[in-house]
């Protein structure tokens, strides 16, 4: 131990587990990487494949080209990939009309919500979607059906004030990356107002979102501060930050990577919790811990609240490449 190490203040890092990549994110990134390997660059990706700048820049360096709309893609036979968040039905229809070869990286758990919406519509139910306006997943889910069919509710006040056309024939679905507690409160209001409202057969909030929030709750009261590694436009990462504060952590911040840490926010702490949103790679978590280790005598304690073994199948076109 050097003299410098001897004078460093001690810091216990409570490392949440599970954290970071979920199966849907891992699958989406694999789809881009395997498409690059099989077809060569460029491969076009509509919207960020996942909400993480580090991941996107890494794929861009390998030859992925990110666009917001299909009309930005030059004519030709280059593969086009739809992001993990899902897309409205009009997007694959447009791609087909343009004779594009496309691969769909939509998370299967998002696709499940799309199917639920279509089943409810087929059965004549009025559909409520609990989610955040403007989020790509919400745009994609609402876009599975004609305009105006799916009604968006964002808050408890929205739930209290919502006036359905058919109060006795309602169903609700949700964005997969919401706060479990916030969503429960909204659903409770809807159920009180509309006792016959139809719920999903299985929760729409995905296993990874739920597990990461539970891990944060397990450490929040023990930590003087919490760092959530993730992007500002990542819904599940923002929810982790909010969950930490509500669960008793005095100070919770969202950080993309170590260079973004505002050290003035972490004066004289002895316990720090660290987690990562579902689209944040583990290398960024390690980078954060190393940055603290340069200033503190760090002891890492992993706090695990669940085991995750879920994996999703790749598109058929890429399975042989993955097996090589």
Please indicate whether residue 324 is annotated as part of the active site: no
Please compute, for residue 40, the number of CA atoms within 13 A of its CA located in the half-sphere on the CB side. Answer: 1
Q: Which of 209, 211, 223 is nearest to 14 (CA)?
A: 223
Q: What is the largest CA-CA distance in the chain?
A: 73
CA–CA gap between residue 246 and residue 109 (Å, rounded): 27
Retrieve residue 131's tokens: 């989610």
Beta bridge partners of 152: 129
Q: Which of 78, 119, 127, 76 is nearest to 102 (CA)?
A: 78
* Per-position DSSP letters for 30-74, written without gaps between them: HHHHHHHHHH-S-EEEES-SSS-HHHHHHHHHHTEEEESSGGGSP
CA–CA gap between residue 48 and residue 153 (Å, rounded): 25
Q: In a 10 Å sphere around its CB, with 0-12 CB exposed, 13-18 middle and 19+ buried, how is residue 96 labelled?
A: exposed
DSSP conformational letter for 198: B
CA 191 to chain centre: 27
The single residue of 33, 116, 137, 324 carrying the catalytic annotation is 137
Retrieve residue 260's tokens: 């973004």
* Catalytic center residues: 137
């Amino acid at each position: 131990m050097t003299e410098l190490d001897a004078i460093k203040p001690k810091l216990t890092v409570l490392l949440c587990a599970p954290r970071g990549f979920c199966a849907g994110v891992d699958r989406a990134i694999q789809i881009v990487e395997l498409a690059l390997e099989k077809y060569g660059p460029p491969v076009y990706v509509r919207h960020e494949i996942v909400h993480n700048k580090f991941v996107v820049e890494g794929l861009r360096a390998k030859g992925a080209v990110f666009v917001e709309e299909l009309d930005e893609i030059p004519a030709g036979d280059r593969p086009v990939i739809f992001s993990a968040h899902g897309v409205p039905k009009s997007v694959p229809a447009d791609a087909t009309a343009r004779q594009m070869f496309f691969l769909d990286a939509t998370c299967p758990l998002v696709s499940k919500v799309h199917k639920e919406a279509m089943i409810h519509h087929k059965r004549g139910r009025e559909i409520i979607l609990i989610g955040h306006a403007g989020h790509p997943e919400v745009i994609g889910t609402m876009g599975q059906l004609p305009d105006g069919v799916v009604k968006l509710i964002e808050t408890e006040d929205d739930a209290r004030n919502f006036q359905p056309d058919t109060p006795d024939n309602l169903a609700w679905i949700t964005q997969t990356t919401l706060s479990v507690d916030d969503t429960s409160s909204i659903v409770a209001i809807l159920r009180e107002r509309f006792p016959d409202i139809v719920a999903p057969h299985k929760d729409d909030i995905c296993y990874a979102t739920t597990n990461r929030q539970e891990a944060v709750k397990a450490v929040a009261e023990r930590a003087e501060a919490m760092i959530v590694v993730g992007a500002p436009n990542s819904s599940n990462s923002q929810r982790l930050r909010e969950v930490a504060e509500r669960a008793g952590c005095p100070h919770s911040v969202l950080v993309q990577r170590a260079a973004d840490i505002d050290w003035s926010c972490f004066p004289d702490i002895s316990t720090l919790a660290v987690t990562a949103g579902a689209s944040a790679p583990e290398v960024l978590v390690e980078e954060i811990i190393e940055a603290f280790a340069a200033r503190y005598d760090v002891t890492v304690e992993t706090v695990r609240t669940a085991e995750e073994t879920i994996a999703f199948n790749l598109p058929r076109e890429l399975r042989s490449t993955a097996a090589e």
